[in-house]
Structure 1
């Protein structure tokens, strides 16, 4: 009997802990920007920096999704170096649409390894929106 009561008590405490963690994540301001142009990375990163300053402790996650023909530019490692370095310094995640890579016949090995590839960038954007991310498409 003591074991059952102790087990129930442990489950209840665990549920309250999970709920508190979920509420903490929801209280953060999370952002995602979908872009089809590499030059837009500069103002997007400036925006991420400004939002981090403005949000303070409420700043959460910031992700950039790159889709469309511009994925061809990702092969230019010199062009991408500064963007990747700045994004890493700001803890901004750059994600690449795998569907776009396939469409424009770009091998994942041709793009910088710091970039994460997702199967479908548009779907990924919607999935983040369902998690409460504020979204902007450029």
Structure 2
């Protein structure tokens, strides 16, 4: 009788780590932000990095949509190279608004590699929200 009880107890203890692991799994959380200048871009990246540290197990990705009259800053290598180096290998993406690029006559060929361009940054932001991304509003 004692052996049977010990076997049941040992089996229950062996299953405990599997139950704990299953309870701690949470879905990844994705974020987005709409920025209008490189200073805001830097602030959002700092926030994204803090979120990655605070939630390393369920941080998904962070998409930053850059639009507005300061969109020309996106082609300034002195501004963008440090930013792009900082986010390299992190789940942080910068997306340029095509409407802004067109309106302010920014040469798309000068947009650095690694920055995705979408035709409508506002629409892209709304689509991310529909997908469940959390929005950081500045």
Question: Does TM, scored on the shorter chain, surpass 0.5?
Answer: yes
- CA separation in 1, counterparts of 2:28 and 2:57? 8
Give unmatched runs, 5+ long, in structure 2. 1-24
User: Which structure dedicates a bigger proportion of its chain to helix?
Assistant: 1
Partner of 2:54: 54
Structure showing greater radius of gyration is: 2
Partner of 2:107: 107
Residue 90 of structure 1 and its aligned partner are, at CA, apart by 2.3
Instruction: Tell me the C-alpha RMSD between the 2 structures.
Output: 1.6
Partner of 1:43: 43
May I ask how many residue pairs the two structures share in their alignment? 114
- CA separation in 1, counterparts of 2:60 and 2:88? 15
- SS of the equivalent of 1:105 reads coil
- CA separation in 2, counterparts of 1:129 and 1:36? 18
Residue 114 of structure 1 and its aligned partner are, at CA, apart by 1.7
Deviations 1:103-134 (A, max 9, x none): 01112102212211011000000000000000
Give unmatched runs, 5+ long, in structure 1. 1-23
Poorly superposed stretches of 4+, deviation over 2 Å = none
- SS of the equivalent of 1:61 reads strand
